[in-house]
Each structure stands twice: as C-alpha cells, then as structure tokens.
A = this chain, B = another copy of it.
Amino acid sequence: MVPFLRAVKFEEVDAAGIVFFACFSSYAHEAMEHFFGALPGGYPDLIMRRRIGLPAVELTARFLAPLRYGDALRIETTTAELGRRSARLHYRMLRQSDGVLAAEIFHKVVTTKLEAVRSCDMPEDVRAIFTAHLASPAAAPRGG
C-alpha cells in the first residue's frame, strides 16, 4: 500500500459547496503518479520519454462523505488486480481530520503505446510496482 496526502484545493469546490465529484478522478490519478514514483524519472518519464501510458478503461467510485475546502485526504493505493496488459488500482480516500472514508475508487488501466493509442505488454518495471502492492494473494494475475 502506498499512502499519499492531498489537501483540497480552493477551486475544487463546486456551487454546492463541496468537492466536485470529477476531482476525485484527478486525485486518483495523482495518487497513481505517486504510486509510480520509484520508476526512473517517475511517471512523467514513462509518458514523455518512453511514450507508454496507462489510460483508464473502467472506473468505479463510491462517494461516502463530502469534502470541503480545508479538508485533506489520505489516499491509500493498492493493486486490486494484475493482468498481462492491464491492472486495477484501488484507492481508499480517507478524510485526514477524522479518518472517515470519503471515497473509494477502483480504476482499471491498460498499458498503452501512446503514438498508436494501442495496448501493449506491461513493461517489467511497471509490473514490479503493481506486484509490490498487490492487495492480497487472492488478487493474483488474470487475463486482461
């Protein structure tokens, strides 16, 4: 599990006064970038130099408690599933002040050659990070 702290930004609140639900997808992506921090050059190097990305193919989110400006999240990221070309990340987003689970997200990504926007086998260093944070043995590789 890789933890990541993230404060709500001033402009992430919407006209209802709470964090806009689309922002949680951005939070998930930031947590994923942090998750891959151990890659040489980090996630930016994967994208910009190697031209391999991890576009989302599925997203499932439950929003359990509202967030306001002044709140911060502790995001716990694990690998829920790992396939040959794809993986499913799991984010538990906890409100830092009281530990309440504010949102829970599953995010399936596919390793993709960016020029062609075509899936490719997962690079070994990417796989190693997914593997290191597999949630449990039950979450073993399957097709994908």
A residues in contact (CB < 8 Å) with B: 9-11, 13-18, 20-23, 25-26, 29-30, 33, 41-45, 47-48, 53, 55-64, 66, 68-70, 112, 114, 117
Chain A, interface SS category: mixed
A117 to B11, CA, bound (A): 17
Q: Across the interface, do A41 and B60 meet the contact criterion of CB distance under 8 Å?
A: no
A17 partner residues in chain B, CB cutoff 8 A: 15, 17, 114
A47 partner residues in chain B, CB cutoff 8 A: 10, 15-16, 69-70
Q: Across the interface, do A29 and B11 meet the contact criterion of CB distance under 8 Å?
A: yes
A62 partner residues in chain B, CB cutoff 8 A: 57-58
Please give 5 more A-B residue pairs, beta carbons under 8 A apart, in addition to A15-B44, A21-B55: A9-B30, A15-B48, A18-B117, A21-B29, A59-B63
